[in-house]
Amino acid sequence: MYDVHAIRKDFPVLSHVVYLDSTATTQTPVPVVEAMNEYFYEYAGNHGRGAHRLARETTNRYEDAREKVAAFLKAEPSKTIFTKNTSDGINLIANSFPFEAGDQIVTTLIEHHSNLLPWLRLQKAGVEVKIVKPEGPEGLITPESIEAALTDRTKLVAITQVSNVFGSVQDVSKVTKIAHKNGVKLLVDGAQSAGHMPLDLSALNCDFFATAGHKGLLGPQGTGVLYIKEPDLLESASLGGGTVSEVEGLDYVLEPSPACFEAGTPNIPGVIGLGRAIEYIEEIGVSEIEKHETQLSREAAARLSEMEHVEVYGPEKRAGVIPFNVCGLHAHDVALILDQSRKICVRSGHHCAIPSIKFLKVGSTVRASFALYNTEEEIELLIKAISDLKALVA
């Protein structure tokens, strides 16, 4: 049975705030922090750079974390790259994929800037970017609209699995099949899906999958994961220590994946912490987490929608993300009032997705987002607080 109150004991900060900003970053459970502390206190060394016992222990723990992450995502360890975050992984693809002038990239209007700006910058090199719009304010991209955008020049489709603005869940499986049918590679931004829902990258068959360690995966900031189905297709734009097996004169030979994509000393304690976070999620069950989060968010969205002074955006069948506005109040003011009067932490602004906000024809939104540790009681506190704001706009 899902015991949210037992889970909350591993997140001490929740004892004095109502935290509804997990789309930006989740809180980190105690066992993950303890695993990171253990690295510093008991065996801190560098990864892959020594024969002594501390270096060996560090390397073993780091690669154990890779095995755990890969198994969790149903991916091969050799194709599982550690990055700083989702943005870092997507930029690695943008800077390493063999694009040529005249090629085309198809992406969507609902993307986080991390899955938009790297592609827009490639326009300077003569690459065309085509942006597909959602069908309506629910923020859903139909696979058919992606297919209609493809041409014989399209090399890559880049799409988010779960929108951080709308909470909409895209049919990336169908989009992958459409892309491959047309000889096009597919990149999935999984920043808001990994850890929030079951994933099977081997079945999904996408070419690239980027996600962050510090969101649904419950790891620390500064960690991320990039899956590359065909590593030999790319040559990393970032080279240095640990990426080469031989240097002779003016030539060099790269190490095989994943080493060739991980230049320099990585975030060793962060990756070790991420490995422990994966264990933590598996102990609870990602399917149970998904069920808990979607139940909370859909209940909260339905109740907010009943208030005449509140406008809620996104689909009815949403992930754990609720964007809304209180009529007559700026989103930042709502967030500050909730924080200062009720210790409720929500996000406000454009959520690093300005095109999505413009599509809604608003300047900003308030965003409440849920994670495995949120409760029905916290929904009640949010609903009461938003209801009380009616007095300010009457």
Is residue 17 scored above 90 in pLDDT?
yes
Q: Answer yes or no: CATH 3.40.640.10 is held by domain 86-212.
A: yes
Active site residue 352: yes
The alpha-helical segments, DSSP class H, found in the chain are 4-8, 30-38, 53-73, 86-96, 117-121, 143-149, 172-181, 201-204, 268-284, 286-305, 331-342, 354-359, 376-388, 390-393
Q: Single out the catalytic residue among 260, 327, 345, 352.
A: 352
pLDDT at residue 37 in the model? 98
Mean pLDDT of the chain, nearest integer = 97
* pLDDT tens track for 52-111: 999 999 999 999 999 999 999 999 999 999 999 999 999 999 999 999 999 999 999 999
* pLDDT tens track for 116-173: 999 999 999 999 999 999 989 999 999 999 999 999 999 999 999 999 999 999 999 9
Residues of each domain in the chain carrying CATH 3.90.1150.10: 4-20+285-393
Dihedral over Cα of 106, 110, 116, 117: its sign: positive
pTM of the full structure: 0.97
Q: How far is 13 from 225, CA to CA, in rounded Å? A: 26
* pLDDT tens track for 320-346: 999 999 999 999 999 999 999 999 999
As a CATH number, domain 4-20+285-393 is 3.90.1150.10
Half-sphere exposure of 276 (CA within 13 A, CB side): 20
Q: Name the residue with tokens 């929740």.
A: 14
Q: Which residues contact 346 (CB under 8 A, 6 or more apart)?
A: 20, 21, 334, 335, 338, 339, 366, 367, 368
Angle at 222 between CA 70 and CA 270, to 5 degrees: 60
Is residue 394 scored above 80 in pLDDT?
no
Residues of each domain in the chain carrying CATH 3.40.640.10: 86-212
